[in-house]
Amino acid sequence: MSLILATQAPDEPEIFASLQGEGPSAGMPVAFVRLSRCNLSCTWCDTAYTWRWEGDNRPHRSGETYERKANQVTLDVADVAARIEELGQRRLVITGGEPLLQGQALAELAEALPDISIEIETNGTVKPPVRLDIRVDQYNVSPKLAHSGNDAELALIPERLDAYATDPRAFFKFVVAEPADVDEVLALQHRYRFKPGHVYLMPEGTDSATLREREAWLSELCLKHGFRMSDRLHIHLYGDTRGT
């Protein structure tokens, strides 16, 4: 079985060691693997090279499209597992794109890495296969709010959000660009009753200045509503670059 990965450079899969930059595991040393393809299309997506190929007319604020061959590579699961093990980390973050689109191959990858903790970053719309789910230690679920540009019927699927809301492994990370976005988070919190302490608000931004500016007012909203705040540590450390 094989996996379709994003690339750091042509033919170089995006598999690397770094510090987790977001959410409940922020600051932890981890291995990352970034998969290609996504079923949603956020207008502010900072990994549009995983889905916005030449000819794709889904909107993105940059207007940039990417040549598929240079930004996508297919590897055998065994090859991916070996590259991850070479990094020497005890925790793996699987991200995308939307990684659960390749759930069956990910299950095989997880089985090949029995001594590594698995953390999956997902938009919350795709059901993981049971074979994978039993090997996942943490889900970082990032439902997309209206400002993402996705239709709610595609981005906010009640059955999936109900399932994650009752899963103690699931944490919710909402990307917030302006204070009004938090009203939407509050409505979702009321509807799905996310576990206390499992909801993070994270500023949208791909540079330190923007993140700091938005964190100034977002921190006050977290205090007011009892949410946790997530920074984007990797942006401050490395900038908006691949393989970090």
pLDDT digits (tens, 9 = 90+) for 192-214: 999 999 999 999 999 999 999 99
How many angstroms separate the CA atoms of 215 and 217, rounded? 6
Residue 97 falls in which region: left (phi positive, over 0), alpha (psi -120 to 50) or beta: left
**Percent of the chain with pLDDT strictly greater than 70:** 100
Residue 170 banded pLDDT, cuts 50, 70, 90: very high
CB within 8 A of 106, min separation 6: which ones?
3, 94, 99, 100, 120, 128, 132
Each residue's pLDDT tens digit, 71-85: 999 999 999 999 999
pLDDT at residue 120 in the model: 98
Mean pLDDT of the chain: 97
pTM over 0.75: yes
CB contact at 8 A, 34 and 140? no
pLDDT at residue 240 in the model: 94
pLDDT at residue 57 in the model: 87
CB contact at 8 A, 161 and 188? yes
Structure tokens at 49: 């090279």
Residue 167 banded pLDDT, cuts 50, 70, 90: very high
Each residue's pLDDT tens digit, 35-81: 999 999 999 999 999 999 999 888 999 999 999 999 999 999 999 99
Determine the 3-state secondary structure of 49 from DSSP. helix
CB contact at 8 A, 59 and 149? yes
CB contact at 8 A, 162 and 142? no
Q: Which residue has the tokens 């990307």?
A: 175
Each residue's pLDDT tens digit, 76-129: 999 999 999 999 999 999 999 999 999 999 999 999 999 999 999 999 999 999
Identify the structural domains of the chain with CATH numbers, from first to last: 2-173 (3.20.20)
E strand or H helix at 181 = helix 181-192
